[in-house]
Amino acid sequence: MPHVATATSGRPAASTFLRVYGFLLVALALECAAFEVIARYQGIRPFLSVDNLILILNQSAIYGVVSVGMTFVIIAGGIDLSVGSLIAFGGVVGALVTRALADAGWWALGAGWAAAIMAGLAAGCFSGLFITRFQIPPFIATLAIMSSVRGAGYLIVGGSPVSDLPADYIFLGRYNIAGHVPVSVIVMLVAFAGGGILLNSTPFGRHVRAIGGGAESARLSGVPVNRVKWIVYCMCSVLAIVGGLILSSKMRSGDPTVGVGDELQVIAAVVVGGTSLSGGRGTIMGTFIGLLIIAVLATGLTWIGMESFGQQVILGIVILAAVLMDRFKGAA
């Protein structure tokens, strides 16, 4: 048998970490090193610096928050195409409610967030309803939600962005704690940490993986398949809304046109992070590293002066390479 003792229960945690994520970490390190070398060769400012690291994290905060939810959806064997629309919708709802209650100060901001999150829950419930009760494939159900939510965003603001927002509104997107650490980065890190614990250490996370690995076996083992799927789609929608709130806070406006195609960027991060699109297999940590690989790529290519069209070509190549490497690793 080729599979020799992979498993003894007392194996040190660090070596497990390296075995699972080593490949992705090496890719990330190589990428950073490459940009550093090119930057020096070109004689521009060095690529690797604390400021740049925070910049990269800050720029990936929105996709990062959303990718946590998407990881759960994909591990459960589904897909959620509605997150791009929800990013726009969250910003619109948050901005509208905050502006309407602007006199109430911080309360207005809280009310805006709460209203947006409720809207996200509603959208997630719809996705869950169609996917579980009516057995509509997730691709189709969330495609429909994507279209409707996009339209609803335009409808409630009449096509133009919500501006004239109170100064507090930029808290999520542009405020730095202790002068350096952006709130958005903290939100993202909390989402990743919470998602990781949920997936790895709770019965819920185990159930999500069981469903993706074999829904019928899971059901016949007493896993409440429909309820778990429902929660997963609600979670993903709410996290997309949070991402939308961060984006709208960064722009200090609620713009219904943003987020088009973001669902694919988020799926890319999840897939590069080693999560299998056929379900059952994937990690939150992998998604985090996948996200960084893509963010470093975008930032680095800009840093060395490549224009955005070229960046898109390279991103495509990186996605393919990541998935091929993952398959190669699986076969080895």
- Binding interface with another protein (CB under 8 A): 1, 3-9, 197, 201-203, 206-207, 209-210, 213-214, 216-224, 280-281
CA pair distance 62, 286, nearest whole angstrom: 17
Q: How many CB atoms lie within 10 A of CB 4?
A: 6
Q: Do residues 67 and 269 touch, judged by C-beta distance below 8 A? A: yes
Distance CA(195)–CA(190), nearest Å, equals 8
Q: Is residue 282 within 8 Å of residue 273, measured between CB atoms?
A: yes
Nearer to another protein by Cβ, of 6 and 135: the residue is: 6
Minimal distance, residue 234 CB to another protein, in Å: 19
Which residue's CB is nearer to another protein, number 52 or number 276? 276
Which C-beta is closer to another protein: that of 11 or that of 40?
11
Nearer CB in complex with another protein: 2/43: 2
Query: Is the Cβ of residue 7 or residue 167 nearer to another protein in the bound state?
Result: 7
Question: Which residue, chain included where needed, has tokens 């925070």?
Answer: 54
Tell me how long the chain is: 332
The CA-based angle 193-195-200, given to 5 degrees, is: 95
- Whether 35 and 237 have beta carbons less than 8 Å apart is answered as no
Residue 194 CB, nearest approach to another protein (Å): 12
Minimum Å gap between C-beta 327 and another protein is 15
Answer left, alpha or beta for residue 254, where phi above 0 means left and psi between -120 and 50 means alpha: beta
User: At closest approach, how far in Å is the CB of 18 from another protein?
Assistant: 16
For the CB of residue 22, give the shortest distance to another protein in the complex, in Å. 18
Residues 278, 330 contacting (CB under 8 angstroms) = no
> Nearest distance from residue 206's CB to another protein, in Å?
6
User: What whole-number distance in Å separates Cα of residue 185 and Cα of residue 158?
Assistant: 32
